Amino acid sequence: MDYASALELQRRLVGERQQGAIDDQLLLVEHPHVVTLGRNGHRENLLASDEILERAGVAFHPTDRGGDITYHGPGQLVGYPILDLREWKRDVAAYVRALEEVLIDTLADFGIAAGRIPKLTGVCVQERKIAAIGVHISRWVTSHGFALNVSTDLSYFQYIVPCGLTKPVTSMAALGVRATLDDVGYVLAAHFGRVFDCQMPLAAPALAGARKREPI
Amino acid sequence: MTDVVMPQMGESIVEGTLTKWLKKPGDHVERDEPLFEISTDKVDTEIPSPAAGTLSEVMVEEGKTVGINTVVARIEENGAGAAAAKPAAQAAQPAAATSPEPAPAAAAVVEAAAPAPPAPPVEEPAPAGEPAGPLSPLVRRLARENNIDLSRVKGTGAGGRITKQDLEGYLAQRPSAAAEPVRPQMPPAPAPAAAATVAPKPPAPLAPAGPAKTRVEPLSTMRIKIAEHMVLSKRTSAHVTTIHRVDMTAVAQMRERNKAAFQANYGFSLTYLPFITRAAVVALRQFPLLNASLDGNNIIYHNEINIGIAVALENGLIVPVIRGADEKNVLGLQRAVVDLAARARSRQLKPDEVLGGTFSITNFGSFGSLVGTPIINQPQVAILGVGTVDKTPVVINDAIAIRSICHLSLSFDHRLVDGALADQFMSKIKQVLEGWTEEVQ
């Protein structure tokens, strides 16, 4: 799903969630190559010119999530939870820590020992960043979310300073774990359901888990 | 007057950074309309206005970090501020009017999609500020192609008319950046390959039924893998199945003679499977095309004979591989089958023990099946299905005899293997099994 469509879908779901028209949702998607810049991001962390990005087939998209610059692309499992935090803990920091927990537990199931990054947000394996988090909240309803490198072509990160960090990146594949996005998505959805205490019926095959059937 | 404070976004959060004001002083805000944004860690939060009115005062500027409950702004419910907001709103209107909608996008699409006529009739849009006086078609075209504003070109022709030379002179002087013609569009980036890995939508999802009528359960990872592999194989290979009836009486007798010794000496029983595997190995040696793979327009002959043995699990199926199966006798094959099956069921197989198979055998006879048409285990080109071994009356030399009969089926990839070859291969297996003489240990 291209980034703009995913943004539009999130915008619609956030609106419906704010009105209480739908239950909490978890969207799991894969984007074509795109570099996105958070609201507080610094464009100087984009290391490539527009021309180079264009030649590499990478789109550029400013966006309204937290965090700095990041890259999305094939082989990366991107999760967009649309949750009303008033029904959870009313705690933004706890929400981010819970997302990290979901990612760490998911990686553990694939035999990868991942951890938090002290004082920062995201998930690391041996000092290498494997998952990024960037969240937007409007009236306690979340959008944006996380991006987990499953079999991402890491060379695309050369175009940016991920989240403004000069930390190297890694992926599950780079750590020797061969898994498809679907494999990881199923495991992740299960952990998500546990951590956020919700049931995860499947909305669309191999695409999204959510509390409620939602056409996607 | 309502105070707007830095909200507490969580138990452990004591401060927040005000990253952006979404309204300016003097702007009118509705209650619950986003007023400003704060950032904590990786979370951006839009803060709605606590009241309707006019934003009269902003105390914290963008980029400042303040503690929770700090007053960041004041909203005046009514009065003077409201009046101040009005002119701004009015000013916005004419601004919007100055950007008229360009030609409808749909029209452009239609034009692009239509088959190209000899020369698309392009209307000559009069460039803004076009000088009075006639212009030659050549000059018009040059100006259009080079994106030249003709009002900036001094004409030296008759009556101040702009000539081709004038344009060329102007182009030569113009800074190169501006002169650069509009670059042709880059070819669109190739569709990301991974897009294909996203599972295609099924033709039509089931209509949601009442809660009692269906139950939705996600597939296990193994089930998804199996499903993908089976469909891939059916899509890849031209499956044909041939079935041969094999008299297993000689093997049955050999088995009877050694069964007890196997149990006593090695701790496992002796089944039909290692005999059939052994016979398949002999036949694969003779017909290497059955121990091959197809790679585009190339045949890959495998020098090793690695036999995959399908093992049924509680909720799935796995095909561990006996490597170097041609170097093992019946005892070695039986040992390998027992070991792999046990470890498959206790999920202790190593990843490389399910890889590298060159031919597979599936023994559905152990579940009572007479005959089956197995699906090829890609990228192999054939799979042998083993039916149940039953004592059956058969006609031998015009007399009825009771023999141990087994049906063996071979599904083969007709892209690479023809029926005649497949049946020669099966005849070889049949010949080895029916005339079994080899000792087993």
Element of type H or E holding B230: helix B221-236
Asked whether the beta carbons of residue B11 and residue A205 sit closer than 8 angstroms, the reply is: no
Alpha-carbon gap, residue B104 to B121, rounded angstroms: 18
Chain B residues with CB under 8 Å of A75 CB are: 194
Phi-psi category of B432—alpha, beta or left, where left has phi over 0 and alpha has psi -120 to 50?
alpha
- Half-sphere exposure of B403 toward its Cβ, with a 13 Å CA cutoff? 17
> Which residues, including other chains, have CB under 8 Å from residue B435's CB and lie 6 or more apart?
B250
Higher-pLDDT residue of B126 and A67 is: A67
Which chain A residue's Cα is nearest to B217? Answer: A201
Residue B177 touches partner A, C-beta closer than 8 Å: no
Mean pLDDT value of segment B158-172? 71
Question: Active-site residue among A103, A163, A172, A198?
Answer: A163
Could you tell me if A58 and A6 are in contact, meaning their C-beta atoms sit under 8 angstroms apart? no
> What interface predicted TM-score (ipTM) does this complex get?
0.72
For residue B354, give Cα distances in angstroms to B221, B309, B343.
16, 9, 12
Tens-place pLDDT, residues B167-219: 777 777 765 444 444 444 444 444 433 333 444 444 555 555 455 677 788 87
> Does the pLDDT of residue B228 top 60, yes or no?
yes
The pLDDT, as a whole number, for residue A44 is: 77
Could you tell me if B390 and B369 are in contact, meaning their C-beta atoms sit under 8 angstroms apart? no
Token readout for B360 is 């597979």
Nearest to A91 among B11, B186, B205 (CB): B11
Residue B191 touches partner A, C-beta closer than 8 Å: yes
Nearest to A92 among B43, B186, B201 (CB): B43
> Does the pLDDT of residue B273 top 90, yes or no?
yes
Nearest to A137 among B12, B13, B43 (CB): B43
Question: Active-site residue among B32, B41, B44, B418?
Answer: B418
The contacts found for A152-155 with CB under 8 angstroms, 24 or more apart, are A152/A73, A152/A74, A152/A75, A152/A76, A153/A73, A153/A74, A153/A75
The answer to whether the predicted template modeling score (pTM) of the entire model surpasses 0.80 is no
Sign of CA dihedral A65, A70, A71, A72: negative
Tens-place pLDDT, residues A188-206: 998 998 888 777 776 644 3
In which band, very low, low, confident or very high, does the pLDDT at B159 lie, cut at 50, 70 and 90? low
Asked whether the beta carbons of residue A30 and residue B197 sit closer than 8 angstroms, the reply is: yes
Q: In the 8-state DSSP scheme, what is residue B147?
A: T
Q: In the 8-state DSSP scheme, what is residue A153?
A: -
In which band, very low, low, confident or very high, does the pLDDT at B136 lie, cut at 50, 70 and 90? low
